[in-house]
Structure 1
């Protein structure tokens, strides 16, 4: 049933699949070969929502996502922070001593870089974590393992040789929940607004564009730049800001942004995940 289906990139058992099951346990998760396919599943009515990873606390930004978001035609309606626990999984009977190489998504490999290097294991990039687990099960070579979730190990009948092999204990991935139509939370709630904009390649252009956020007390929690169409003359910026567009502070900040920037595009207005508040409280204590 499309109305109760959520799409994600990867094979069954991927961390995106885990995120879907965690946030929407009543929905059926739909595996897709690529991020573009997950977007298409929503556009074509095969799924109501899509769960897309955008950044990781260890590996940083997920490649291509911020290029897909403005072109994808979907709206951000929520966010989710998923603690990532990587497992070293291998065919039954395999041992640590016999391993030669480890397959997984490039993000997972980078998140476990120290663990692999210390054990002399050769990392091999794969399309996704669960797909790597499926291939390791198919090859049934005791010298080849995968980095994947415990769910993937269960699905593909693999043995977990080690659990929690990520290099950082804070390893967390932020996901965005996307839909065909916007779902705007009420004014006064704890809200995040995500937007894209461009500035001219002139001195102080970004400073002037963002000045309204500072003068109106709007907190920018994320700001990233990247080139547009491979050109070096102008940059496009992705920003997450705290607040609702219908609240006065953000209204004024957006007015100033629209005056100094070009092609301002609001990608979504959605409830802030509780992880944000907990992280802010922890930072205040530190």
Structure 2
């Protein structure tokens, strides 16, 4: 908790105490109060108790250790791609994805006064989503652990030449002036969040379209991925996401992170996964959950 800027500490302490009194209702999120993840937590679990955590690992650990019933984690952004390290952290956490949620992301430039500003703090993802704006204004991007925390840090610094990029609510929480709204480069900027829990969702309880997320590994040999993916094409499975990343230093095998429309128990997906398991190693389902936005 000491890693938060001082203006955020009182809010963090109050939320932490409320969550400790009823951990089953607690919803862990990464960031200081007022972050986009805080907003996502309120929208995904309206009856929950938001629990601020300094890092993604801390939020996942809170669920694993029973300090929270769920965690809300951003996984990808429409403009800036996947959130750094999430593809590594999700499988390592041992938690299951039980829901997804999309929110429109809008950033405000805020500070102590109205500038001019020489630099702006924010989460690296938010800085990337506003890189053209910052470049045009001659503002140097500076990394911070999260967006709302950046606003709290700017309030703590007391330097009128340093700004923050954060949700507008952060300015209200930390006493900053909003200089300009909606400074993101793309105004249809959207982030996808996932809801994590200790136990997977019972697929029989899912009415309507479902999403299934899984990882698998293939050897770096000719046509390995083509063979692994063949079953999804022949069985008519809509694959909406396929990303590769390396685990370990050998570079002998590649891990893939995949989303498909469907759920285990449906024959087309069962057949596709069965064929995938024949050609791939370490197939692991990370979760099956209701689809909240149509794909395709």
Q: TM > 0.5 between the two?
A: yes
Which residue is equivalent to 2:97?
76
Q: What is the deviation of 1:47?
A: 0.4
Alignment RMSD (CA, Å): 1.2
* 1:269 equivalent among 288, 291, 295: 288
Change (3 A) 1:188 1:4: closer
SS at structure 1 position matched to 2:252: strand
Partner deviation per Cα, 1:214-260 (whole Å, 9 max, x = no partner): 00000100000001113211100010000111001001101100111
Change (3 A) 1:255 1:160: same
Which residue is equivalent to 2:153?
135
Which residue is equivalent to 1:198?
217
Which residue is equivalent to 2:172?
154
Give the TM-score normalised by structure 2: 0.90
Matches within 5 A, 1:2-17: 2-17=23-38
Q: What is the deviation of 1:172?
A: 0.6
* 1:183 equivalent among 173, 197, 201: 201
Gaps of 5+ in 1: 281-286
Which residue is equivalent to 1:114?
132
Contact 1:77 1:184 in 2 (8 A): no
* 1:218 equivalent among 213, 217, 237: 237
Contact 1:221 1:242 in 2 (8 A): yes
Contact 1:103 1:146 in 2 (8 A): yes
Give me the whole-angstrom Cα distance separating, in 1, the residues matched to 2:92 and 2:44: 25
Give me the whole-angstrom Cα distance separating, in 2, the residues matched to 1:128 and 1:148: 9
Give me the whole-angstrom Cα distance separating, in 1, the residues matched to 2:45 and 2:178: 26
Give me the whole-angstrom Cα distance separating, in 2, the residues matched to 1:231 and 1:66: 18
Which residue is equivalent to 2:270?
251
Give me the whole-angstrom Cα distance separating, in 2, the residues matched to 1:189 and 1:163: 37
Q: What is the deviation of 1:99?
A: 1.5
* 2:77 equivalent among 39, 56, 74: 56
Does 2:52 correspond to 1:31?
yes
Which residue is equivalent to 1:90?
111
Which residue is equivalent to 2:88?
67
Contact 1:132 1:146 in 2 (8 A): yes
Contact 2:78 2:189 in 1 (8 A): yes
SS at structure 2 position matched to 1:210: helix
Give me the whole-angstrom Cα distance separating, in 1, the residues matched to 2:294 and 2:147: 26
Contact 2:114 2:177 in 1 (8 A): no
Contact 1:199 1:205 in 2 (8 A): yes
Give the TM-score normalised by structure 1: 0.93
